[in-house]
Homo-oligomer: A and B are copies of this chain.
Amino acid sequence: MPRPDVSAERKAQILQAAQQVFARQSFHDVSMQTIAQTAGLSVGGVYWYFKSKDEIIAALLARNAEPILDRLRQLADSDAPTTARLKTFFREIIAAEDQIAVLYSTGIKLYAMTGANPQLQNSVRAIGAAYRDGLATLIRQGVERGEFQPVNASDAAMALLGLYEGLMLLWLADPQAVQFENTLQAGVMLMLKGLMHP
């Protein structure tokens, strides 16, 4: 009689723990020891499910990007005005700030630290490209539907993405100085105004 497969559960448990500790410390400052303890496992136990620290990080990255990419795909199928859809998207991100902040804390650290591991670099790049493409699709629709000026959708998408990432970065660096919601909303509004026909 096969025991129930604990593998998925354990992996989730470990990623959950990793998320939690990576949120507060830099990658090099988090030891496998810590991750294991936080997950309620032994070091060897963690290695049973992930072959290396980097593999944990990569899994984390993928896990965090998933729901956001899903939402972008959903919005691409909507007929609502593009400005509204983009506003919605960023409003939702802002609303989920509490949940997302932690994710992005890790995510952004990753963007900035990919240097050494090429495999990780590829993951990061793939996810970055997916974000950009998702946004670009919306903007392209906006242009096609006559809502936006005929801009380069890819550049505009990258700019929006950059704005978001940059503000998240600044906010993480100094949470008290940056009011994430207001500023992101303000920045997105500026860009959308710039995109629309005068």
List the interface of chain A (C-beta within 8 A of B): 24-26, 28-29, 108-109, 111-116, 121, 124-125, 128-129, 132, 151-152, 155-156, 158-159, 161-170, 172-174, 177-179, 182-184, 186-187, 189-195, 198
Contacts and interface: CB of A to CB of B under 8 A. Distances in A.
Contacts of A191: 187, 190-191, 194
Given A112-B113, A115-B26, A161 B166 contact: yes
Contact of A115 (B24, B159, B165, B189): B24
Q: Which secondary structure characterizes the binding site on chain A?
A: helix
A108 B191 CA distance: 23
Each complex incorporates copies of this chain amounting to: 4
Given A151-B186, A159-B167, A169-B162, A177 B129 contact: yes
Contacts of A151: 186, 190
A164 B138 CA distance: 22
B26 A156 contact: no
B156 A162 contact: no
A34 to B, nearest CB: 13
Max chain B CB contacts within 10 Å: which of A121, A189, A195? A189
A124 B179 CA distance: 17
Contacts of A170: 111, 128, 158, 161-162, 165
28 contacts: A25-B115, A26-B28, A111-B112, A121-B173, A124-B173, A124-B174, A125-B173, A128-B173, A128-B177, A129-B174, A155-B186, A156-B186, A156-B187, A158-B167, A159-B183, A159-B184, A161-B166, A162-B164, A162-B166, A162-B169, A162-B170, A162-B183, A165-B165, A165-B169, A165-B170, A190-B191, A193-B193, A194-B194
